[in-house]
Chain A
Amino acid sequence: MSSFQAPEEEELQIENKYLKEKKIGEGTYAKVYRGTERATGRTVAIKKIKLVQTEIGSQGIELSAVREVKCLRELRHPNVIELIDIYSHKSNLKLVLEYLDSDLEMIIKDKSILFQAPDIKSWMLMTLRGLDHCHRNWILHRDMKPNNLLVGKDGQLKIADFGLARDYGDPHAKNMSPQVVTRWYRAPELFFMPSQYGYAVDIWSVGCIFAELLLRTPYLAGESDLAQLELIFKALGTPTEEDWPGFSELARDMKFQKYSRTPLQVHFKAAGSDAIDLLEKMLTYDPNKRINTREALLHSYFRKLPRPTPPDQLPKQQKIQENAIQQNSKPSIQNRGELTEHRNKRKAQEISNKSEKKIHRS
């Protein structure tokens, strides 16, 4: 029985195989170290999971850690982060994950990089392939955003952070929490607190990421939940009963300003008609009519020229995050996030000031 194993022994096992280099971040449920796999020389992230201790004693392994392991154990795909190893001992759990030093958020924000249409297509293709693999394994990611799409030195994009993910096999699943998905990427149905939602929420997020790749700035950066809805409606038109059957019932306690729909082409001038069509299908109000990963991958956008850029030829950040690694990569990502949030704050504030007047709860 492994519980009789000395803690040092388990530590030794891991140290024989991996060289632990430095702490690169600390989250709510884990400390993350960067390391190298001795045999192959590849860089890995070693995630040390903390146990939840409450006033009444141990609560076992934290839920998001359990979720992450549960999902990653089922998934194996070039566009999904790989869980290489797990070490456990008594109350000690260490995950060894692939380590990638960049992510799509950093790349979008790096204004020294120029995006060409084939580059965007390549990132979209990799994102959708990875997500399709998740969905085909009945796993909902629930937190798709550029920050969670890691990019390796070889240009491969990998979906990471399954701390919110859950499997969606149960036909009687209820009580799904709507408080998922970072607000800017959150599908409209989630704002109306339904306890049941599905794969379509991930697609909406990918639609927002697509738009962000085209615009180089977050597409719908709402300051509050209400402001977010207002932003969505302003951008895509307030949904009618025809756009989204059941909408008036969902929103019966709220009144929204009626915005008419502006064609997406107006806002996304540089995008081709196939790109616009795919974007439109991802940002469809009715979750039942929203395109799924399968259909999206077969969309003419991916079949027509120009071909997507091969991953290793995608534009990269010049100085690969030396400082970011030195000063803890996770916090630096958060700082970047805050910066944009500041930038968008003013804009969002204005909008939400206006929206306060228009949205009345009856």
Chain B
Amino acid sequence: MAANFWTSTHGTNWLLSRQALADCRKIDRQYVNEQDLIKVNIWFAQIITDLGRRLQVRQVIIATAITYFKRFYTKNSFRNTEPNLVAATCMYLACKIEESPQHIKAIITDMKTIMQERGENFTYENQKVAEMEFYLLEELDFNMIVYHPYRSLMTLAQDLGTKNEDVQWAWYVINDSYRTDMCLLYPPHVVAAAALYLRIALRGGAQYGDYSLTSTTSTANDNSVAGVTTRGAKRGAAAAASNNNTNTTANETPKVKDIRLWFAQLNVDLEHISDIVQEIISLYKLWGEEDKQNEKIREILTRLLK
């Protein structure tokens, strides 16, 4: 991680403690319980992701937009705002900030389509989004540069000599982590380390490099749970989680690294890593439920937004 992450606005102003985050959400919690609020956050992260996909923007832009959305809601409650408008504006601003500006009309058109797919209407026009942009900027305290775990992942992966397949997988885990509060709680390099840990350490094997053996085991497990879930890296996560008892004998090649030692030497608190890993695993559980319960989220949103 860049030495200057800690002096950036992200490092100094936007890493919250769990307690501080809970305090931010007091108003919303009057209407819905904690689990429901998590579902609401997954719901809006999905809307922003879908909007980004339609606009064909880079993953980093989606991540920035979701981070803006989450930061905005540390200072505002869902009840007093119009989250669909906020979501669209976050994407609009993120595109500008990441140097891929989109036409305001394009954002609105695609947002309309996405909301229609969900049986809702998006009725805001240009002027509304432009005004919201000002308000959003103000609530972000004009701190617009967001650090993401992707770059750290690349650095870490290179150091460990990670296989492409594993890097790709960890990349998906990072994408999914934006559905949780991790981007508000932990610095990006810790999230990156956790994503790698989830893939590599939990899959079993004390050493990295004994690849062929673990890889086949993992595939077998993938198949066994294939029916349960399909989206994103979920399948792999389930496999990794169910697979952590598998012990593979070390293949003594010079490239093999002791995983525990490697993670221990990272200068990252292992407790933080395991906290993130837990969050992500429970995200995958909850996310699966949310799939089947579209009705449920609608009921929650009605209660929350009135």
Asked if A and B bind, the verdict is yes
Total cross-chain contacts (CB, 8 A) = 103
Q: Interface-forming stretch among A34-42, A84-92, A237-245? A: A84-92
Q: Mark B163-207, 1 if CB is under 8 A from A, else 0.
A: 000000000000000000000000000000000000000000000
Say whether chain A's binding surface is mostly helix, strand, loop, or mixed.
mixed
- Judged by a CB distance under 8 angstroms, whether B246 is at the interface is no
Q: If A2-B138, A138-B2 touch, does A176 touch B145 (CB 8 Å cutoff)?
A: no
Asked whether B127 lies within 8 Å of A136 as measured between CB atoms, the reply is no
Partner of B135 from A1, A59, A170 at Cβ < 8 Å:
A1
- Judged by a CB distance under 8 angstroms, whether A74 is at the interface is yes
Asked whether A73 lies within 8 Å of B151 as measured between CB atoms, the reply is no
Contacts of B133 in A (CB 8 A): 60-61
Contacts of A91 in B (CB 8 A): 130-131, 134
Q: Interface-forming stretch among A63-71, A149-157, A258-266? A: A63-71
Interface of chain B residues 66 through 110 with chain A (CB within 8 A): 80, 92-93, 96-101, 103-105
Contacts of B137 in A (CB 8 A): 61, 69, 88, 93
Partner of B151 from A58, A89, A92, A171 at Cβ < 8 Å:
A171
- Judged by a CB distance under 8 angstroms, whether B60 is at the interface is yes
Q: If A74-B145, A91-B134 touch, does A60 touch B3 (CB 8 Å cutoff)?
A: no
Nearest to A83 among chain B residues (CB) is B142
Interface of chain A residues 148 through 173 with chain B (CB within 8 A): 166-167, 169-173
- Judged by a CB distance under 8 angstroms, whether B55 is at the interface is no
- Judged by a CB distance under 8 angstroms, whether A137 is at the interface is yes
**Minimum distance in angstroms from B86 CB to a CB of chain A:** 12
Asked whether B2 lies within 8 Å of A60 as measured between CB atoms, the reply is no
**Minimum distance in angstroms from B67 CB to a CB of chain A:** 14
Q: Mark B121-165, 1 if CB is under 8 A from A, else 0.
A: 000011101110111011000111101101100100000000000
Asked whether A170 lies within 8 Å of B151 as measured between CB atoms, the reply is yes
**Minimum distance in angstroms from B91 CB to a CB of chain A:** 12
Contacts of A169 in B (CB 8 A): 2, 145, 147-148, 151
- Interface size for A (C-beta < 8 A) is 36
Q: If A69-B142, A170-B60 touch, does A61 touch B134 (CB 8 Å cutoff)?
A: yes
- Interface size for B (C-beta < 8 A) is 40
State in angstroms the CA–CA spacing of A171 and B58 once bound together. Answer: 12
- Judged by a CB distance under 8 angstroms, whether B4 is at the interface is yes
Asked whether A137 lies within 8 Å of B92 as measured between CB atoms, the reply is no
Contacts of B242 in A (CB 8 A): none
Q: If A70-B144, A136-B3, A138-B2 touch, does A171 touch B150 (CB 8 Å cutoff)?
A: yes
Asked whether A51 lies within 8 Å of B130 as measured between CB atoms, the reply is yes
Q: If A66-B97, A88-B138 touch, does A136 touch B2 (CB 8 Å cutoff)?
A: yes
Asked whether A136 lies within 8 Å of B4 as measured between CB atoms, the reply is yes
**Minimum distance in angstroms from B126 CB to a CB of chain A:** 4
Which residues from chain A sit less than 8 Å from chain B, CB to CB?
Answer: 1-3, 51, 56-61, 63, 66, 69-71, 73-74, 86, 88-93, 136-138, 166-167, 169-173, 175-176
Which residues from chain B sit less than 8 Å from chain A, CB to CB?
Answer: 2-4, 7-9, 58, 60, 80, 92-93, 96-101, 103-105, 125-127, 129-131, 133-135, 137-138, 142-145, 147-148, 150-151, 154
Q: List 14 A-B contacts (CB under 8 A).
A: A1-B80, A60-B129, A61-B96, A61-B134, A63-B101, A73-B144, A74-B8, A91-B130, A137-B4, A138-B2, A170-B150, A171-B151, A173-B99, A175-B99
Given contacts A60-B96, A137-B8, 4 further A-B contacts (CB under 8 A): A58-B127, A66-B97, A69-B142, A166-B99
Give 8 nearest A-B pairs by CB, closest first: A58-B130, A57-B126, A70-B144, A60-B130, A60-B133, A88-B138, A137-B4, A136-B4
